Chains A and B, each alone.
Chain A
Amino acid sequence: MNMPSEPTPWRQLQECAASQLSPQFADNVLRAFRLERADARAWFGRAWLVSAATAMLCLAGVMFVHAQHIEADSARHLAAWQEISAQTASLEPAP
């Protein structure tokens, strides 16, 4: 009777496990790894594109809002100066 510490049943267990592997196991592993790496690269590529597009959209939004503010400020300042100019003209003594 073999005890578990003796090699025979352990060797049988190992042989039984090894028989579960397909003959092309190593090639399958390498193929799966290549696919996984290609998927990861494609994912990073897509993530980079989405990030870049989001950044561009944010920048365009900020520039648009900034331009709107500048335009509104300029119009307000021009109106104020026109008012000052009109008041100055009315205060000038008639010749």
Chain B
Amino acid sequence: MEKSDTPALTDLVRQAQQGRESAQRDLIVAYQNRVAGFIYTITGRSDTVEDLAQIVFIKMIRALPKLDQPAQFEAWLFRLAKNSCIDYLRRQRWQRLFSPLEQETHSEIPETPQTVDSEELDALRHALAQLKPKDRALIALAQEGYSQNEMAAAAGISVVALKARLHRAREQLRQHYEHAI
């Protein structure tokens, strides 16, 4: 991912940093589906995808002028998305803690599979739901093509620890997936 940002994208990011609304719009359109998938992987809730994606892109527009290296845009955007998802899940946990009478908040209720969903998608969703949010975030970052160095930096752990955690998370995902399918 470090070198994947093309000169055209870097130019678009620079224009967006200068406040050009058309460039900001193009950036949103270019990344909205990937960010939505990323959010879905971490939260496991389709009903939060649009709201969280909106939060992520508003944060992006607000923080763009502070991005020193436009060439690192993609890595920066997905880090922003990861932090927003982790914050969201943390808030949900606190809400559950402080409203014991409403323990079964909507995030606790398993999402009912859509009739059009394939068996594989249901199994993947079920397998992801069994992982810890931070492990889901690692898997999502790996799916987005993050390098191990970048993931380690984003998670604030060493590369060796990252490799072990990622391996364990993938193994758990595989087991839950195989069990579900």
A interface with B by C-beta (< 8 Å) = 1-5, 8-10, 12-14, 16-18, 20-22, 25-30, 32-33, 36
B interface with A by C-beta (< 8 Å) = 21, 24-25, 28-29, 32-34, 36-37, 39-41, 46-47, 49-50, 53-54, 57-58, 61-62, 114, 117-118, 120-121, 123-125, 127, 143, 170, 173-174, 177-178, 181
Q: Is the interface of A mostly helix, strand, loop or mixed?
A: helix
Contact, CB under 8 Å: B50 / A9: no
Task: Write the nearest CB–CB distance from B115 to chain A, whole angstroms.
Answer: 13
Complex contacts, A22 vs chain B, CB 8 Å: 50
Measured in the bound complex, the distance between the Cα atoms of B124 and A8 in whole Å is: 10
Complex contacts, A26 vs chain B, CB 8 Å: 25, 28-29, 32, 57
Contact, CB under 8 Å: A20 / B46: yes
Q: Is the interface of B mostly helix, strand, loop or mixed?
A: helix
Given A13-B125, A26-B25, A30-B24, answer yes or no on A18-B170 (Cβ-Cβ < 8 Å). Answer: no
Contact, CB under 8 Å: A4 / B36: no
Task: Write the nearest CB–CB distance from B138 to chain A, whole angstroms.
Answer: 13
User: Among the listed A1, A21, A29, which residue makes an inter-chain contact with B36, where contact means beta carbons less than 8 Å apart?
Assistant: A21
Measured in the bound complex, the distance between the Cα atoms of B50 and A8 in whole Å is: 23
Complex contacts, B181 vs chain A, CB 8 Å: 1
